[in-house]
Homo-oligomer: A and B are copies of this chain.
Amino acid sequence: MISHESLATGRDVSASLYVEIQQFYGRHMRAMDECRVEVWTSDFTEDAVFATNARPEPQIGRTVIAEGARKAAQLLTEQGDRRRHCVGTLEVSERPDGTVVAKSYAQLVRTPQEGETVLELFCTCEDVLIREEGRLFIKHRQVYRDDLPEN
């Protein structure tokens, strides 16, 4: 059980787990930003749920999530824009059942071809991660864009 004290200090999460998640996001976000959709998609469990206030219904299952990501990557490639997910302000906690909750902030930074870089939008992300065969996978993702209503 996680005590109030450990929740307050975050000391219950080991440095190696916290760093593992930083590495996970480094790789995960870079994969998306470089349009390596297969790599990005492989970070989700087969039955993962991706919910966001930018869509009326959550995407359910890795196949559906992958389809959405491929379309987004294709659009970005057609536009010739670069888009980066600058992820940070990470807060990690472990649940009694062994799943990991990772809260992060993401600034989306877009640069049109030889154009000026702009902060396109901001979102919060809350992932529930599970470990399978030694590595972490996203089982549930909840993203909120700050520029859209919560529901």
Contact = CB atoms under 8 A, between A and B. Distances in A.
Interface of A: 5, 8-11, 13-16, 18-20, 22-27, 29-30, 82, 84-92, 103, 105, 107, 109, 111, 114-122, 124, 134-136, 146-149
Contact of A23 (B10, B26, B111, B120): B10
Number of copies: 3
A13 to B, nearest CB: 7
17 contacts: A10-B24, A11-B16, A11-B23, A15-B19, A23-B91, A25-B89, A30-B103, A82-B122, A84-B124, A84-B146, A86-B86, A86-B88, A86-B107, A88-B88, A109-B122, A116-B147, A117-B122
B88 A87 contact: yes
B147 A117 contact: yes
Contacts of A30: 89, 91, 103
Contacts of A10: 20, 23-24, 26-27
A104 to B, nearest CB: 8
A100 to B, nearest CB: 13
Contacts of A8: 27, 135
A121 B146 CA distance: 17
Given A26-B91, A117-B120, A119-B119, 17 more contacts: A5-B135, A9-B23, A11-B16, A11-B23, A11-B134, A18-B23, A23-B92, A26-B92, A29-B89, A30-B91, A82-B122, A84-B105, A85-B89, A88-B89, A107-B109, A109-B146, A117-B147
